[in-house]
Structure 1
Amino acid sequence: MVSIKSSWKVFQKHISPAAVATALAAIICAVILFIPPINGYADNGDFYRAMLSNGIYRLPTKDNQYIGYVVTKFGILKYFNENNVAVFSSQALFVKAAVILNKLLYSHRYFDIRFLGIVYYVAFLPGIYLLTKALTGTWRRIRSYVIAILVVLIFADASFILYFNSFFAEPGMLISFLYVVGSLILLARGDYSKRWKLLLTYFISVVVLITSKQQNAPLALSFGVMSVGLFFLPGLKKAKKLAVMGGVVATLGAGVLTYSLINKEFNDVNQYQSFSHGVLMETGDPSKNIAKSGLSEQFALMREQDYYAKTFDTVDPSSHYIRKHLIGKYNFAWIIKYYARNTDQFLRLLDVASKDIMVTQVKAVGDYTKDSGKKAGQQSTFFTLYSSLAGAFFPGKYAFLCLLAITFVAVYAVSAYIDFVAGRLFGVVRFFLILGLMSICVFVPIVSIIGDGDADLAKHLFMVPLSLDFTFIMFISDILNHQLWLTEQPNQDTMINDNLIVLGTPSNNAMIKSLNKDLYFKYSDDYRGFVSNEKLSIEEDYGKTIGTAQLIRSPENSKKGILVLTGATPEASYLASTQLNFKKNIDQFTGDAIVVDQNNTHYSYRFKKNKYIDRNLEHKRTISKNSQLIIYLGIVFLALIVIGFGVYLVFRKQAMMNGGRKNAKQK
């Protein structure tokens, strides 16, 4: 048992929770992406957007290269690339980096998708480290390592990692998201003196995320809300406030730029499918509804039709007739007015969007290469525990999603208020973070339905499960760290290196709750009063009125002490503090725990056999206390030695003289 405990201490000292999370994520992701059979996502027809503009093309083959199997080998254009940029996206940064790496290490003619996986992999791991560091702070308790494992379980889930071996834009969004929330929480904690690095990381990541996809343009408003919390950071000088303001402007500008650069083809696709997959859906007879809104009933036949149909079209979406008699007569303002008149239909569409909102694994495509021996379209089940459970049990109702968002905002609003009144910042910054994330959860389904109907919902709603996943783990970590409503606690280094005085009640000082298991007089499960122990039998009502002063060993360092002055009420806590406010009061107590009631009747108890926290310090104090006696004894002892040595010399000299006289007589 001692060996296990000592091994755990060594492990805690040398390996942080963030390092554990990063190492686990590195192993799991490497197995998914690079160990045969290779896993990824097959092309659903969207890969061309990232391929052509980056000089990558499909190699000719007799096999079908879509939907069923993951294709790992592509060609690299040798000559001039006349393909215009299909869409404006920051994804090009990752793809171009992968092409350069591919040319350096593999080939100038052929591109292996795994090099793109490597680029995402290398960028992903620091994000895991940053997020885990933000959630655990400087703590290295068991609960900190539990949080690290949860981070891996959620964000290294294969449903996310499979995107790395594909040309989808979602990996850049996932990675940027980790950097955004991680850097923002670390800024709130104030653990780093050079905050400009975290600020730069935050705003760059926000811009990269917003510009990953055209659909992300409205997210600029949500990230703008998150950024409001940065203005509450203490010690922000004028230059840094201007820098934060510039970052917020850049965030909003990225959203405007992304929206303005949506090309005509992309806009036509969305506008058409917002009608065929939105207006015409979830209603018994759509022809009557659209007729009331000024469109011909014949267009109801286009229900569920894609702009790029997989089989055949009822009509050609790009034809002159459709442009003149349909697309030319409605726009997104028309769609908003339509849904305002048909709210029941709109709510049903929102329920459709929410039904599988936590199903993050793309079900429409296969996850294996053809040479793996798997069937076409077969899904990988390796390390998909979290996504499978979340997809199966999360209620698929938009009303529940809104209720959940309101609940989280309300819970963290309490913490923000408490911290704001107390002059702290963590709860305030965290509130704006949660508010921004919940706005994503509430408004992204609305924007998706209005903008593209129920087509490609899984990809359009990608930010919703990401936001919920982070909020869930943030909520769990705040509970485990006792920081849900009360955020002010000393960090790990302080707990290890310093003696502490902790004052308050369980309701106004979270650290009291975290130390309850170490107290001699413990609180009840509801923290409304003290309970009996072997020293004192405490009646329930009496336990609600008494205050205690308890000197305990620090749970982080047995050679350091924590003086806990606490009671179930502020009055009881104050009463406990009065027992130690003057030296004459302290001198009357000899134990390590004091109990005092409303009548100022106090009792002293000894729980530890050795009253000193540090035995080495005890020895030093004993020596210091008796130093004068020790000095006198030392002088006496030294005098005796000198006298003894003198006597010895006298006798030795006398013996030598007697010996000399005898020799003289003999002669």
Structure 2
Amino acid sequence: MRTRFRIEYLAAAGAAGIIIWLLFTRPFIGMADSGDFLRVLMTAGLDYNPAATTYEDRFFSYANQHFAYGSLRGAYITSQLIPVFIARGLGWLYDPSLFNIRILAAVYGALLVAAVYLLVRTGRRYSMAVGVVLTAGLLFVFLDVRYLAYFNSFFAEPVSLIFLLLTLGTGLRLAHQEEPGRWTLIFFFFCVFMLACGKLQNTPLGVVFALYGLRFLPLRWDRAWRKLVLICCSALFLLSALLYVFAPDGLKHINLYQTVFYGILNKSPDVKGDLKALGLPEKLAGNAGSNYFQTDVPIKQDAPEMRADFYDRMSHGKVMLYYATHPQRLIGLMERAAHQSVYLKPGYLGNYEKAEGKPPGAFNDTYSGWSRFKAGHMPNSLLFIALFYIVYYGVCVIEWLRAREGSAKMTSELLMLVGFVGFFAFLIPIMGDGLADIEKHLFLFNAAYDIMLLASAAWLAYRIAVLLGFGRDGRRISYRSYR
């Protein structure tokens, strides 16, 4: 009996091999802390590496492999804490004296391998050509060091990348199962929860996916299935809303400050006019163009008068209203963000350990073909992004209309949802955090955009295979095959 070649096993093995090579051999490749680690460290009962004593050791210049165990002393709520706590427990069993962040990278790595396996397995159902394109594309694009370097860090970006891929992979599996499984459905909603609740800016995605989840109701008609779908949709909607409502005021204040002073008022041609349009006093004009962490500002960001004059008066709703009445300003910021959107990492963060003897901020670019190609050759204009979206959605809609099977329609829908995630992840950082740290805040946009590019390549491979008459196993279909 002939054994069918399973390309998904090759893809998973390749992903595991690249992850081990980049993240678990020397030199250590990680990501320096920009100041975001502390809230996760405190909530997870961890602390900075006791050997890293200077500011340069801890922030911006060098990555750290080891961290100290400590007590729980924070309440930062995020789905990122789930893999962090799992890694912390495994790390303590491995070495109770110091936490090795490579344990966290191993957790992330295993999940990424699972995502690669799921996507390739689903893709080859259409055609072996699709399976080959997905294998090559996933290994070349999403195993790039500028994606993987985040795995050895406490940034939330790996959660966004991994669970976007897993959401798509699990959703496609649900669409193609003859009788969708309940555990597959539960895992799909868990993946969306992890994606939506990994960062405050992602929480609206939970609401959108909760509404889309109702699409799964007609996949099965038994009462238990329909009840489970409704429970999952309701839970996702509620958890996403609660995470945003109960986010720390300090974090909301940072976002509001960045949105207004480092976004709307940054290089504004009429600062006082913008302040008036926002309902804010003119005396705040001196802070225009500053970010929340600057110290050389006329009015300190945490000064008591800022609460009455700014924080109590501003909301993201007012920001949205401002942009609705000043669309040219929003388009200008989007153009500036598009220019930075081709860079997969902030240029000011190093990824070597200090012990390697590299200059501060040095970055290891081993296996970075995709990120270097993207930065050097991918058009980075708002017009190009808009045109690509138009073509992408046009193809998805055409494929949805011509599809006869429900699985094909759901495939188009899920790919359109990925496009929505990308659009949302491009717009929200601008409206919710200005242009502060924009390269890192566009990480989810880059992930979604790269999925769209890979899906487009897979679609072309499928259409060419159909045109040439090749079947799902890669063999050419003759006229007699249809008789």
Contact 1:225 1:435 in 2 (8 A): no
Letter in 1 for 2:91: N
Alignment of 1:367-386 (within 5 A): 367-386=351-370
Residue 555 of structure 1: how far off its partner (Å): 7.0
Root-mean-square deviation (Å): 2.7
1:424-478 CA-to-partner distances (Å, cap 9, x unmatched) read 1122102221222222222333322221111122333222121121122222222
Contact 1:402 1:442 in 2 (8 A): no
**Equivalent residue pairs, number:** 479
Give the aligned partner of residue 87 of structure 2. 98
| Distance in 2 (alpha carbons) for counterparts of 1:152 and 1:320 | 51
Contact 2:11 2:120 in 1 (8 A): yes
Letter in 2 for 1:38: F
| Distance in 2 (alpha carbons) for counterparts of 1:555 and 1:346 | 48
1:248 and 1:402, CA in 2 relative to 1: closer, same or farther beyond 3 A?
A: farther
Helix, strand or coil for the counterpart of 2:301?
Answer: coil
Do residues 302 (structure 1) and 287 (structure 2) align?
Answer: yes
Give the aligned partner of residue 209 of structure 1. 195
| Distance in 2 (alpha carbons) for counterparts of 1:372 and 1:287 | 50
Helix, strand or coil for the counterpart of 2:469?
Answer: helix
Give the aligned partner of residue 396 of structure 1. 380
Letter in 1 for 2:288: R
| Distance in 1 (alpha carbons) for counterparts of 2:154 and 2:278 | 40
Alignment of 1:506-655 (within 5 A): 511=466, 513-515=467-469, 556=475, 562-564=480-482
Alignment of 1:114-129 (within 5 A): 114-129=102-117
Give the aligned partner of residue 250 of structure 2. 265
Higher relative contact order by CA 8 Å / sep ≥ 6: 1 or 2? 2
Letter in 2 for 1:53: T
Contact 1:409 1:431 in 2 (8 A): no
1:217 and 1:359, CA in 2 relative to 1: closer, same or farther beyond 3 A?
A: same
Give the aligned partner of residue 400 of structure 2. 416
Contact 2:30 2:65 in 1 (8 A): no
Do residues 243 (structure 1) and 231 (structure 2) align?
Answer: no
Contact 2:258 2:434 in 1 (8 A): yes
1:426 and 1:358, CA in 2 relative to 1: closer, same or farther beyond 3 A?
A: farther
Aligned with 1:177 (options 142, 151, 164):
164
Helix, strand or coil for the counterpart of 2:273?
Answer: helix
Helix, strand or coil for the counterpart of 1:74?
Answer: strand
Give the aligned partner of residue 166 of structure 1. 153
Give the aligned partner of residue 39 of structure 2. 49
Residue 43 of structure 1: how far off its partner (Å): 0.4
Contact 1:159 1:387 in 2 (8 A): yes
| Distance in 1 (alpha carbons) for counterparts of 2:156 and 2:277 | 39
Letter in 2 for 1:174: L
Letter in 2 for 1:48: L
Contact 2:267 2:289 in 1 (8 A): no
1:392 and 1:557, CA in 2 relative to 1: closer, same or farther beyond 3 A?
A: closer
| Distance in 1 (alpha carbons) for counterparts of 2:174 and 2:180 | 10
| Distance in 1 (alpha carbons) for counterparts of 2:130 and 2:97 | 50
Give the aligned partner of residue 545 of structure 1. none
Do residues 474 (structure 1) and 435 (structure 2) align?
Answer: no
Letter in 2 for 1:203: F
Give the aligned partner of residue 69 of structure 2. 76
Greater strand share, structure number: 1
Unaligned 5+ segments in structure 2 are: none
1:36-71 CA-to-partner distances (Å, cap 9, x unmatched) read 110010100000011011111121544321100011
Letter in 1 for 2:85: K
Alignment of 1:12-27 (within 5 A): 13=3, 15-27=5-17
Contact 1:368 1:379 in 2 (8 A): yes
1:436 and 1:36, CA in 2 relative to 1: closer, same or farther beyond 3 A?
A: same
Percent identity (aligned): 23
Contact 2:130 2:461 in 1 (8 A): yes
| Distance in 2 (alpha carbons) for counterparts of 1:468 and 1:396 | 12
Helix, strand or coil for the counterpart of 1:218?
Answer: helix
Give the aligned partner of residue 444 of structure 1. 425
Helix, strand or coil for the counterpart of 2:17?
Answer: helix
1:276-301 CA-to-partner distances (Å, cap 9, x unmatched) read 11120242232333245443333222
| Distance in 1 (alpha carbons) for counterparts of 2:13 and 2:474 | 27
| Distance in 2 (alpha carbons) for counterparts of 1:335 and 1:143 | 43
Residue 266 of structure 1: how far off its partner (Å): 0.6
Residue 256 of structure 1: how far off its partner (Å): 0.6
Alignment of 1:453-464 (within 5 A): 453-464=434-445
1:146 and 1:396, CA in 2 relative to 1: closer, same or farther beyond 3 A?
A: closer
1:226 and 1:391, CA in 2 relative to 1: closer, same or farther beyond 3 A?
A: farther
Greater helix share, structure number: 2
Give the aligned partner of residue 66 of structure 1. 59
TM-score, normalization by structure 1: 0.67
Letter in 1 for 2:272: S
Give the aligned partner of residue 361 of structure 1. 345
| Distance in 2 (alpha carbons) for counterparts of 1:239 and 1:402 | 42
Residue 161 of structure 1: how far off its partner (Å): 0.7
Helix, strand or coil for the counterpart of 1:326?
Answer: helix
1:348 and 1:117, CA in 2 relative to 1: closer, same or farther beyond 3 A?
A: same
1:209-257 CA-to-partner distances (Å, cap 9, x unmatched) read 1111111111124424653543453x44332223223222223223212
Give the aligned partner of residue 322 of structure 2. 338
| Distance in 1 (alpha carbons) for counterparts of 2:360 and 2:15 | 28
1:100 and 1:468, CA in 2 relative to 1: closer, same or farther beyond 3 A?
A: same
Residue 362 of structure 1: how far off its partner (Å): 3.0
| Distance in 1 (alpha carbons) for counterparts of 2:235 and 2:444 | 20
Do residues 290 (structure 1) and 275 (structure 2) align?
Answer: yes
1:251 and 1:408, CA in 2 relative to 1: closer, same or farther beyond 3 A?
A: farther
1:550-572 CA-to-partner distances (Å, cap 9, x unmatched) read xxxx97499x983458xxxxxxx
Give the aligned partner of residue 189 of structure 1. 176
Contact 1:278 1:452 in 2 (8 A): yes
1:432 and 1:101, CA in 2 relative to 1: closer, same or farther beyond 3 A?
A: same
Q: Which stretches of structure 1, 4 residues or more, deviate above 4 A after TM superposition?
A: none
| Distance in 1 (alpha carbons) for counterparts of 2:165 and 2:274 | 44
| Distance in 2 (alpha carbons) for counterparts of 1:341 and 1:244 | 39
Residue 373 of structure 1: how far off its partner (Å): 2.2
Helix, strand or coil for the counterpart of 1:380?
Answer: coil
1:482-534 CA-to-partner distances (Å, cap 9, x unmatched) read 39xxxxxxxxxxxxxxxxxxxxxxxxxx85x2328x9xxxxxxxxxxxxxxxx
Give the aligned partner of residue 414 of structure 2. 433
